Structure 1
């Protein structure tokens, strides 16, 4: 599977679900400063997805959890634990986040998913390298889910 790579706003993509590059869910969501994808989701989609996510508890690095999309026009949000407890990402965390997000998408019947570049924001991973890791993992996957990877262009 070859993903489509675009520049733009993740929350403007036509997809069944979007991926939120999240942390490990150790700190309460309300203590975190709203930034990046999560900040945009909170601002435009409301707090409901994060309240649902809080009930999950700590997430293993690279894992993925699906919540509702709040006020956003998606069937769900797939939250991936793409950064460790030191707020850093790694190639393994990115690969596992992609694999597990696709698994959750299949389980929920999502035909299309839009990803941000995992690990390149708060995770401090080089964006070009993170994108290359994601593309490699997506191309190796055996899925018919349509995937868009969105490079944020508002920096």
Structure 2
């Protein structure tokens, strides 16, 4: 069952599932700085979207160098339902600046999607896989980003958090329900 929140004119949706199946203008990949998509969300995206995503990622790094933590790069989405993949580089849990870098990864993804004129974007729980961020902490950072940035968005109308597995979904639902309790909406 999806949960939704209305922040100004933006609908924020929580859903459990596979981000490669989401219909959105862009999906966000939880990436590493070299955009090598060898595991987790990144591997699933390349497997489903095709090798073009890895080739474009390699070209991006060859031209621009590694993507710093908290920053993003954009490629096409290959065979995915999305038009773009926004590769957001999150931090490893335990980094003293981790929350700030995670905040920037979410924020810069939203800003880039908005700059591209996109109406919808889907996020995974960035940095919660091999980078070890607890789901609850990731959700708390994501809420802070939403509350600080949503008023600046000109094009984005729908933000989806597509969470892989019941534990991730429950954690995000608990945090979003608590922090956005006055913003609930029907989906």
| Shorter-normalised TM range | 0.7 to 0.9
Q: Which residue of 1 aligns with 2:105?
A: 97
> How well do the aligned residues superpose, as a CA RMSD in angstroms?
2.3
Deviation at 1:5, TM superposition (A): 1.4
Ranges of 4+ aligned residues in structure 1 off by more than 3 Å: 86-89
Deviates more, 1:89-98 or 1:114-123: 89-98
Q: Which residue is equivalent to 1:17?
A: 26
2:48–2:80: 8 Å Cα contact kept in structure 1? yes
Change (3 A) 1:127 1:109: same
Tell me if structure 1 keeps the 8 A contact 2:23–2:81: no
Distance in structure 2 (CA, Å) of the matches to 1:135 and 1:51: 33
Q: Distance in 1 between matches of 2:16 and 2:143?
A: 15
2: CA distance, partners of 1:14 / 1:52: 21
Cα pair 1:90 1:125 within 8 Å, conserved: no
| Alpha-carbon contact 1:61-1:83 (below 8 Å) kept | yes
- Taking structure 1 as the reference length, the TM-score comes to 0.86
Number of equivalent positions: 149
Q: Which residue of the partner structure matches residue 46 of structure 2?
A: 42
Q: Which structure 2 residues correspond to residues 1-16 of structure 1 after superposition, within 5 A?
A: 1=7, 3-16=12-25
Residue equivalent to 2:177: none
Shift of 1:3: 2.3
Structure with greater helix share of residues: 2
TM-score (norm 2): 0.72
Q: Which whole-Å CA distance do the structure 2 matches of 1:38 and 1:10 have between them?
A: 10
CA distance in 1, matches of 2:94, 2:33: 9
**What are the ranges of 5 or more consecutive residues in structure 2 without an aligned counterpart?**
1-6, 168-187
Structure 1's unaligned 5+ residue stretches are none
Report the CA distance between 1:87 and its aligned residue. 10
